[in-house]
A and B are shown apart, each in its own frame.
Chain A
Amino acid sequence: MKRQVPVIITFIVGAVLIVSVFFPPAERLGENFSVFFDIIAVFAFFLGGGNLIRIHGNKIYRRQKDWAFSAVTLTGFIVMLAAGLFKIANPNGITGDVAATGSLFQTLYYNIFYPLGSTMYALLAFYVASASYRAFRAKNKEATILLIAAFIILLGRTPLGVYATGWVPESFSLLQIPNLAIWIMSSPNLAGQRAIMIGIALGVISMSLRLILGVERTYLGVDNE
């Protein structure tokens, strides 16, 4: 029973959502089912918040390694939550827009969250450069082609590409680096991407069918029978 009920629910939901795409009268039913997704998502927010407090609270309580970072995480979480929930310093009061100009939530968002988020992403530049230096090697023919394509894209995506091959006559314009970069993106890259997409789509279809028909049961925490 513990296994059969979730399998039946999965079958009904999956079947309805598929039928709603191909059978117009069932479209409304499919949309109503999708509302359940919103309801589940709301609970996921609570679960996520609760989990964050539990894990970092434990770390602080036990004075584990780097507990001070957990304290910063929890403080940030609680302050942002309070600023958003109670709309602190909101010029329009509790009924106003949560991100109204002048509100504490907006001030924290633009002055702390925004630059911190951008900084985290910017760190990628350093790691990409370091990883390319250590790992990007012309070991064989395929790797060399990949390396040349990478150089063309790197140069073609900046004004340097225009500088470097601006002298190439218009009749040979394909040899200009920006045009070569466009060709790489819209021909070899496109072919590769399409192949990957079709492969993924076929995988998704087969996996969905396995789930709907109850063949795949690992999501229930049990091995396939």
Chain B
Amino acid sequence: MKQDLLLFGALIVIVAMIFLLVPKPIVFSTTVSYLIIGLILLALIFIFIRTINGHFVGRRIVFLFVGIAVVLPFFMKIHQPIRVSPEVQTVYDSTAQLKPGSKVLVSFDYDPASAPELQPMAESYFRLCLEHDLKIIIMGLWPQGPQQAELALQIALADSSIVKKKLERGIDYVDLGFQTGNEFVIQRMGTDFRTMFPRDTRGIPYDSIPLLRDVRNFSNIDYSFNLSAGYPGTVEWIQVAVDRYGLKLGAGNTGVQATGMYPYLRAGQLKGLLGGLSGAAEFERATGKEGTATFYMLPQSFSHVIVIAFILIGNAAFFLGEKNKARKEQK
């Protein structure tokens, strides 16, 4: 443990020194970026050749390459083509086509662990809603959800096109906070929102909030967007709010969870899906405002290539081992 603490202390000192000594963010030129990419590819080819010659790499080397692949792209500026998929376009269209003043319910069902994937979606979605003069009702089935919402809201409200609108809390957007009870919260909201959220996060009674004056249950919501990282999340919203109360729902899910949402998407129970970081980047492209997700796509591309390369190297090692075994058996 002493070693761990020492290592941790050394890391803090290094990070602090970089923070103090480097005056502005480092950005590699395109030539340097491509040079680094070339060096990484050469190193991978070298490992591949060594593996074929019977020298297998340890997992520390894999960790090192993943670390390099994730960190270095943050300093690069390479344009990447992003194509908007149909499910992402559906979320954009369903929201952008709503009339000004329509009410959108956004549920934040995730915690900081999933924020790198879901937070960019939340920021872009809020920006889109506020640009189209839609009224936002925020809530969360996860305790940390509403705080993630506040963080995204502050970023969206700071956008130059939104600042001009002089939006007010309680009139243009409201945060109802967290409520425990998982799918039972959704079920009770089907009858009356007030029973589950008697006050907003500032302690203002439900009936005193102008935005909520005409909102009793899901029938008063024009579109709903759920950001989910697990249970309770999109599946529960579909099973209760969509199937029982006919809510129109779109969703933003972590990459791991998104694969499980396609049956609901095909059945029409889900009106659009943003899957993982790539879904967030596609949504940014659809809204026309590139943000953190587009920026994070470069590290994601790098790390995916590294994973593919190491799977190929691992397979080369495997087949080589099988071949050697067969040769020995023949002898």
Chain A residues within CB distance 8 Å of chain B: 21, 27-28, 30-31, 34-35, 37-38, 41-42, 45, 66, 68, 92, 95-99, 106, 109-110, 113-118, 120-122, 125-126, 128-130, 132-134, 136-139, 147, 150-151, 154-155, 157-160, 162-163, 166, 178, 182, 185-186, 189-190, 193-194, 197
Report A-chain residues with C-beta under 8 Å of the C-beta of B113.
117-118, 120-121
* Bound form: Cα–Cα A159–B304 in Å: 11
Q: Is B314 a contact of A133 with CB atoms below 8 Å?
A: yes
Closest chain B residue to A34 by CB distance?
A: B184
* Bound form: Cα–Cα A61–B255 in Å: 42
* Bound form: Cα–Cα A198–B61 in Å: 42
Bitwise, B53-70 to A at CB < 8 A (1) or not (0) is 000000100110111001
Report B-chain residues with C-beta under 8 Å of the C-beta of A147.
311, 315
Given contacts A118-B112, A157-B278, contact A130 B305 (CB under 8 A): no
Q: Is B116 a contact of A118 with CB atoms below 8 Å?
A: yes
Closest chain A residue to B175 by CB distance?
A: A97
Report B-chain residues with C-beta under 8 Å of the C-beta of A92.
202
Which of A122, A190, A197: most chain B Cβ within 10 A? A190
Q: Is A159 a contact of B147 with CB atoms below 8 Å?
A: no
* Bound form: Cα–Cα A24–B114 in Å: 38
* Bound form: Cα–Cα A160–B69 in Å: 14
* Bound form: Cα–Cα A46–B135 in Å: 36
Report B-chain residues with C-beta under 8 Å of the C-beta of A45.
180
Count of chain A to chain B residue pairs whose CB atoms are closer than 8 Å in the complex? 155
Asked if B224 lies at the interface with its beta carbon under 8 angstroms from chain A, I say: no
Bitwise, B106-125 to A at CB < 8 A (1) or not (0) is 00000111111000000000
* Bound form: Cα–Cα A66–B311 in Å: 35
Question: Secondary structure at chain A's binding surface: helix, strand, loop or mixed?
Answer: helix
Report A-chain residues with C-beta under 8 Å of the C-beta of B310.
129, 132-133
Given contacts A31-B191, A99-B201, contact A194 B263 (CB under 8 A): yes
Bitwise, B244-282 to A at CB < 8 A (1) or not (0) is 100000000001000110110110000000011010000
* Residues 113-145 of B at the A interface (beta carbon under 8 Å): 113-116, 144
Report A-chain residues with C-beta under 8 Å of the C-beta of B59.
130, 133-134
Q: How far is the CB of B142 from chain A (nearest CB, A)?
A: 12
Asked if B308 lies at the interface with its beta carbon under 8 angstroms from chain A, I say: yes
Asked if B83 lies at the interface with its beta carbon under 8 angstroms from chain A, I say: yes
* Bound form: Cα–Cα A130–B59 in Å: 6
Q: Is A137 a contact of B315 with CB atoms below 8 Å?
A: yes
Report B-chain residues with C-beta under 8 Å of the C-beta of A113.
112, 144
Query: Which of B82, B147, B191, B202 is A106 in contact with, Cβ under 8 Å?
Result: B147
Q: Is B112 a contact of A117 with CB atoms below 8 Å?
A: yes
Report A-chain residues with C-beta under 8 Å of the C-beta of B151.
110
Query: Which of A129, A138, A178 is B83 in contact with, Cβ under 8 Å?
Result: A178
Given contacts A97-B202, A118-B116, A186-B262, contact A41 B304 (CB under 8 A): no
Q: How far is the CB of A130 from chain B (nearest CB, A)?
A: 5
Given contacts A31-B191, A158-B301, contact A132 B263 (CB under 8 A): no
Report B-chain residues with C-beta under 8 Å of the C-beta of A118.
112-113, 115-116
Query: Which of B62, B67, B308, B311 is A155 in contact with, Cβ under 8 Å?
Result: B308
Given contacts A136-B311, A158-B304, contact A97 B114 (CB under 8 A): no
Closest chain B residue to A154 by CB distance?
A: B304
Q: How far is the CB of A8 from chain B (nearest CB, A)?
A: 22
Report B-chain residues with C-beta under 8 Å of the C-beta of A30.
187
* Bound form: Cα–Cα A158–B297 in Å: 7
* Bound form: Cα–Cα A98–B143 in Å: 12
Given contacts A126-B63, A129-B310, contact A185 B262 (CB under 8 A): yes
